Amino acid sequence: MTLRLGDTAPDFEQDSSIGKIRFHEWAGDSWVVLFSHPADFTPVCTTELGLTAKLKPEFDKRNVKAIALSVDPADKHIDWIKDIEETQKTVVGFPIVADADRSVSTLYDMIHPEQSATATVRSLFVIDPNKKIRLTITYPMSTGRNFDEVLRVIDALQLTDGYTVATPGNWKDGDNVIIPLTVTDPDVIKQKYPKGFEAPRPYLRLTPQPNK
């Protein structure tokens, strides 16, 4: 199944490190970062889940829940969490889906046969409170993810959902933003962008970031 931006994230019910989870019900009205890892007790995955655990305060500020997934069973997840917490000096405060039958992996196209016929690649989905997919990133098994980038994109998505702006390349929270080309009426521009703007080109109008 090919999932595209704007699609509704498929619901599922599956076992996890905290028991059965019905995904949409568990997500509630939060944003969600759903990410898969190839296997438990592997080095790259251990660092990734440790980083995710340490980012909980940042996720909480943004109304984001994290949920991981691999095809290992729940009891193995629980044993592995002890290793993650000990080696990464953190507390894993999010569930790990135990997709032993690969039903969720298939639903979200997380198994890429040219990488592995059985293990999931490093897929990541950002899903908004309306259960719409807003970002997809797929990393190879050998490369750990950049979770600073995940937070940066969530900041951009939440900002552009609230204001009529776009974000330039390498944008970070607090940087100038872009006035979209669809906004042309001078009165509307004055209303929406009271701090004014600079226009090095007619199609490139930069304005201070609105207050969130």
> Which token pair is 179?
């006035």
Q: Are the beta carbons of 111 and 118 closer than 8 angstroms?
A: yes
| 205 phi, psi to nearest 5 deg | -115, 115
Q: Compute CA distances 5 → 89, 111, 135, whole Å.
A: 35, 19, 6
Sheet holding 198-201: strands in order across? 177-178, 204-207, 198-201
Structure confidence at residue 127 (pLDDT):
98
> Tens digit of pLDDT per residue, the chain (212 long)?
689 999 999 999 999 999 999 999 999 999 999 999 988 999 999 999 999 999 999 999 999 999 999 999 999 999 999 999 999 999 999 999 999 999 999 999 888 766 765 567 689 999 999 999 999 999 888 899 999 999 999 999 999 999 999 999 999 999 999 999 999 999 999 999 999 999 999 999 999 999 86
- 178 in helix, strand or coil? strand
Structure confidence at residue 212 (pLDDT):
65
Q: First-to-last CA distance in the chain?
A: 36
d(CA 40, CA 73): 9
Q: Is the pTM of this model over 0.75?
A: yes
The CATH code of domain 7-145 reads 3.40.30.10
Could you state, in order of their start, the residue ranges of all structural domains in the chain? 7-145, 163-207
Q: Which residues are catalytic?
A: 45
d(CA 120, CA 134): 21
- 157 in helix, strand or coil? helix
Could you report the per-residue pLDDT of 61-85, keeping only the tens digit for each? 999 999 999 999 999 999 999 999 9
Say how far residue 84 (Cα) sits from the centre of its chain. 20
Q: Are the beta carbons of 189 and 161 closer than 8 angstroms?
A: no
> Which token pair is 133?
């997919």
Question: Nearest Cα to 67, choosing from 106, 1, 9?
Answer: 9
* Residue 131 per-residue DSSP state: S
d(CA 109, CA 9): 12
